Amino acid sequence: MAAVVMAAGLAMFAVTNLNVDHISGRDSLRLSSASRALTTSPNRLPSDGWTSQRGESLGPLESAEDMEALEQARFHVKLGIYANSTYDLDLSVPSFSSNGYVWMRWNQSLQDYLDAEDVQLHEQVQLINALLSDADPVLTPVRQDPVQLDNGDYYQLYTYIGRFYIDRTSFRHFPFLTISLPIAIEVDDVDGLFGYKNFRIEPDIQNSGMGLYAGTGIIGWLSRGWSIAEYRHNYATNFGLGGVEGDYSLVVYDITFGTSAWSAFWRLMLPLVVVMVMVLLVFKVRPDEQDARAGIPVTVLLTLVFLQQVYRDELPDLPFLTFLDQVYVIAYLVTLVAFILLIWIGRRYAELDVMAPGESKNKLSHRLEVLDEIWPLLMVVFCTIAVTIAWISIPQGA
């Protein structure tokens, strides 16, 4: 036991010194004061605290200043997104594929700039979370030139198709997952005129949405709805132009999906529960069948390793333990303790066989019988408390 404790202490010391600290990027998002559709109402939030909002909200004073800046911006674009389908979800990257429509409406001031520079608006806009390892996602105009509406604004409809990076997932709650499939659109500032104060992209919340296959295109996942909002994207650089760091208007449209809790339980949790019941009942095997009693924890251990490997293949390499990982750690610990107790009890029964009849033999026999009786209750209580702590210790909204 001393050797085991010393080895465990050395292992913890080594892992602690080898562990790499995470350093976050300096870019930041702040939710703007523009109109938005976000599923952030408390009565619509799931129990894990999930929200589709990214970054922090503006304070009351900041919101008033941002609204004033929105009205004074030189260039305004009204942007809407309608996803026809979402498909090919890959959690190992993580990424997804999607296609649909994007439309933009803009004022005369912006059109004058585009005419002077002899460029199209979609050439100045980029899908910033597009994965370039696949075919480069682009906005393709349905008509070659924009049309001018009755109110003087210009309008153009585009199609898009591509593969996009996923920035928000609740991997810590696995297997009870919630995942956001975003499409992020931002202006590509070339001349330094399209900063946040001059160029604002306002989401068209009334007409945006998702089509027939956008909410059902990923088999095995349930749609939790969609959202669209404008953010103030602060880059931690001025791109070599001098002056302060650059802020730009960014619109994020996303569809949120979640796993079925019942499906996740029956598929991943139930086999683990059944295996652990075997450990719970191991002390109910007759004491004289020590080989059979000692063999059960070994079999359970191998089964746990196999079951864990199966579900880990679905996930990327994560720098933290998911909820199910923590449950397996508890299962490994209980199995190890059961094996150690079985070895200890086996040695005590061997001593009992050679002891002379008397009070000492009766006390030892009674003590072993009590341990056999209370083990299942102790294991159930410990596992219940440990699993509860593992769940409630997950950071809210993680």
Buried b (16+ CB within 10 A) or exposed e, 139-154: beeeeeebeeeeeebb
* Mean pLDDT in residue range 331-336: 91
Question: What digits encode the pLDDT tens for the residues 290-309?
Answer: 667 778 888 888 999 999 99
Amino acid identity for residue 352 in this structure: L
* Mean pLDDT in residue range 101-114: 91
- How far from the centroid of its chain's Cα atoms is residue 185's Cα? 21
Q: Is the pLDDT of residue 326 over 90?
A: yes
Q: Is the pLDDT of residue 258 over 70?
A: yes
Q: Is the pLDDT of residue 133 over 80?
A: no
pLDDT of residue 243: 57
Closest CA to 227 of 215, 243, 245, 244: 215
Q: Is the pLDDT of residue 286 over 70?
A: no
pLDDT band at 332 (very low <50, low <70, confident <90, very high): very high
Tokens standing for residue 278: 């075997």
**Residue that is written with structure tokens 């390793």 in the block:** 305
Q: For residues 157 and 140, is the Cβ–Cβ distance under 8 A?
A: no
Question: What digits encode the pLDDT tens for the residues 1-26?
Answer: 788 788 878 887 787 777 666 666 67
Domains defined for the chain, CATH in brackets:
24-258 (2.70.170.10), 263-392 (1.20.58.390)
Above pLDDT 90, what percent of the chain? 22
Q: Is the pLDDT of residue 84 over 90?
A: yes
Above pLDDT 70, what percent of the chain? 86
Question: What digits encode the pLDDT tens for the residues 204-225?
Answer: 998 999 988 887 778 888 888 8
**DSSP for 135-172?**
S--EEEESSSS-EE-TTS-EEEEEEEEEEEE--EE-GG
Closest CA to 93 of 318, 398, 316, 320: 316
Name residues whose C-beta falls within 8 Å of residue 138's C-beta, 6 or more positions apart in sequence: 122, 127, 160, 162
* Mean pLDDT in residue range 307-335: 90
pLDDT of residue 43: 53
pLDDT of residue 26: 72
* Mean pLDDT in residue range 345-349: 73
